[in-house]
Structure 1
C-alpha cells in the first residue's frame, strides 16, 4: 500500500512537466496513473521496474481469470500458477511476450493479455557539484538530463562528466553535451532505481563570440584547443568572419584586472592554439573593416524617436565610392523640422566644405560632387527660430522660439511688463505673415509681440514737469509784460 501511495504522489507531481496538460489540481489520481501507463505502454524503451503493477487477464476454460502481478526487487515474476519469469533487464514488450506465451501454452485460445496498469516510481540520489545533495523521485522513462535542471546545478557543474553508479556498483560516465547537441541518447540514459548520480566539477569553460555559427560558452574536454572550439563547438566561421584578427582575452593569470588581450590569426586555429579556463574568443567581421564617417548636430537619436540633441554623434559605415546624395537619401530619418539641411557643412581634415542637403533630399536624381571619405564629419546645424518682444517690457529683444509656449512665456523672457507703462497686460501679437493674433492663438516662429505703452499717468509723469516749466515761463513773461505796459 505504501509503494502504491508513493507511486501516485510521484505521478501527480511529474504531470507538471507537461505544459499542454491540465493542471494537477484538475487531474484525478486515476487519470494520472492512466496517462503514465499509456506513456510506458507506447514506449519500446520502458524497462520492467521494481514497483510496477501489471494486470494479467485470460480465460481458463470457461472461467475468466484476472491476476495482478507486482514486481519486487528480486524481479522474479510468478505467472499465476503456471510459471516464474526473471524480468531483470527486460522491457515491457519482452515481458508481455513471455508471460502471454506461458499462458497460451497452458490455455490455448485463452485470449490472454498482460497490461501495465501502474508504472513504478523510485528515487535516485544526486550529489557532487550540485546545489544540494538529495534524493529525487522519478520513474523509468526519465532520462539523466531531466534530473539535472538549473535548480540543481551550480555555475561549476560539468555536463561533460556526469557519473552514474548503479545498484550493482557499476559506474559509467556520460557527456550530456553530445546528447543535447547531437542527439546521442547513449549519453543521456534512462535512470534506474538506486542510481547515484555524481555531477563532477568543470575543468575549463571558454566562450566564443562574433562571427561563428554557434557563439556561446562551452565546457572543453582535456586536450581540446582553439581548433575544436571554433570548428567543433562553434560549428565553424561565418561567411563574413575575419580570421586574421581574432581576439583572445585571458583572465586567468593576467597581471591586469581587464585581462590580457592576445591577437591571433587563422594559423592559431589550424595549429590548435591552447586555451585556458575562462578565455574569451572574439572573431570579428570583415564589415568592421568598412570605412566610417560621422554625422553630428541636429539629427535624430533613433529612427523612431523624435528627440534631438546637440551631442548626437552617429558613426556611419559606407561603401567605397558612395556619393553624399545617396548617403543622405537613404538616411532621411536623420532629419527633422529643426535640422538646418540647407546650411550643413562637411569637415574633412582641416577643410570646411559647405554642403546644401536640400536638393539631395528631395531630388532622387541629384548627385553630389563630393564622395564620402573615411573620417569625414557631416555637421547638421540646428535651425533656430525666434520671437521678438518689444514695447513696455524690461528687456526687449529676440528670444529662441519654443513650440507650444504662449505669449506670456515670451513676455516673461523679456523681464515682464513695465507696470508704469503698461496696464491690464495689453499686447499686440503679429505673426510672420502680418496676421494679427489674439492671446488664445498659438505663437508661431518669428512672431512679434508688442507690449502697449498705454498708461496715461506714465506720460503725464514723463512730460508734466516740462509742461509745468513752460507754463511757468509763459506766466512770468505775461506778468512782466503787463507791468511794463502799465
Structure 2
C-alpha cells in the first residue's frame, strides 16, 4: 500500500476512535486522499535537492531563503548590466519543464556558487547579467530540456574605505546601492582646515565646507582604476553620474581643495567654489544653482588675479551698466576660467534699486550685503560677514569702487589710440608719463590703510561705502615673489627687516641679460613700483621684478646705419666741392 493511502487509513481509524465523523468531514478527507494519490514522484533519480523533498510538479518557491532579512534601501531598480555581484549576494535559480526546482544560491567568501550536480562557478566581480548567463549556460548544458530563471533576491554587505579630509577615516560596512555621498556621511562628513562640519544632522545641500575638495574626490577601485567624483556638481544638478555607487573594497579619498573661483551677483547662491581645470563660466553658474533672472542681466566682469601678486585684471565680458542693455549670457558661458578668478554678474535691480556691496576673500561669510548709503562703513560690512579669518592679509586688502571703474577717461583713451598708431616716440614727456601712470594704476581703488584701521583703530580709514563697492581681503602670503631674469625665479620665504640684496642673493643672483636699470620692487600694500635698489627694505607680499635687456641686432643696426653714414659723407663731399 502506498505510504499516502496508509496514512489516510490511519487517519480514518483515528477519527473513528475519536468519535463519529460527519459526512462533510469524511468527504473532505476522501478528497484529500484522492489528491495525494495523483501525486507522482519525479523520474529523475539524480535530481539535485537543497534540503527539500521534491515530489510535486507544482512545487512553490520557499517562503524563507535563509537570506539576510535586513532591508536595503534603493533609489532605483537594480541595473543588471552595471550591478557587480560578490560574496554573500543571494540568487534565486528556478528550473521548470522536465522537473520543477527552486535553488537558493549564495556566493561564498571566495566568490563561488555551488549548484548541486552541475558544478561550482566563480561569478564574483561579474555583472549580474554576465553571472546569469554563465550559470544559465552551465545548467542548460546539464539539463537541456528545462527552462531557467535567475534573479537577485538579496544584496550583500561589504567593506569600503574613506580617507582624507573627513571626520572619521577608516573602513565602513556598506551595500551595493551606497553612493559616495552616503559613505562620506557614514564617515562623519567633511573636515575643514579650521573647523569640522558634520553631515549627519544636516541637509546634504547645506552641509558645506569651503576648504574640502568636494569636486575632486577620488574613488579608487580594487583593480587600480579610479574616477573623479564631483559632489558639488551632483548637489547642483541632481545628476547621479557625479555621485556613483561604491564597490566592494573601494577607497574614497577626500582631499583639501587646491584652487578656488568665486561668483557674485545675479546667481542663486553666491560664493566661492572649488576650481577644476577646464571649468568655464557656465560650470560656475551651474554650481551657483543658476542665474537669478528676476531682473534683466546688464553686465558681467571677470576679475583675474595675477599669479604671485594681489593685482587684478578686470575684463568686461559683456553688457554695459551705462546703457542697461540686456546681457546675452549664451555668448559668455564658454569663457574658460583660471584659479582665483572672480565673476560678477550684475542685474539691473542690483545697481538701480538695491544698494549693496560685495565682500570676498578671507572673511568668514563671503557674499553680497545690503548697505545704507551715507551710513554703512567698512567695519560694518566686515562684522556682518563674520569678521576676518586668521589668514586675512591687511596689507593687500582693498576697496574697489566699481562705478569709478566704469567711467571713461577721455584723455587716456586718446593717448592709447595715439600710442597704437604712432607709438610713444611722438608723445611729449608729460603725455608719456600720464599714459604710463594711468595704465599701471588700479582704477577705482579707494585709498584705505587697512592696518591703521584694524590694528591702530584709526577710524578715519573706516570710509563710507557706495553702491557696487567690492571689498577684498587676500590670504596672507609669507613670501616674496622674485620674477624675471634671476637664476631661480619663484617664491622666497619672507624674513622681517631684509632688503632687496638678500632676496636677489636667495634667488641665485642676476642673469647675464638682466636689465637692472629697469628692475622694480612692486609694493603689495599700494601696488606702487619703485626703482630697484639693493638697500630697499622689502615688506611681506612685495614682488621683485627684473626684466630682460632688449637684445640689439647689431647686424641689422649696421645695415640701417651704413646708408645713413654714406649719405652724410656724400653730402659733406658735395658741400666741400661747392664751397672749396
Q: TM-score range, shorter-chain basis?
A: 0.3 to 0.5
Structure showing greater Rg:
1
TM-score using structure 2 length: 0.36
When the two structures are superposed, what TM-score results if normalisation uses the length of structure 1? 0.43
More strand by share: 1
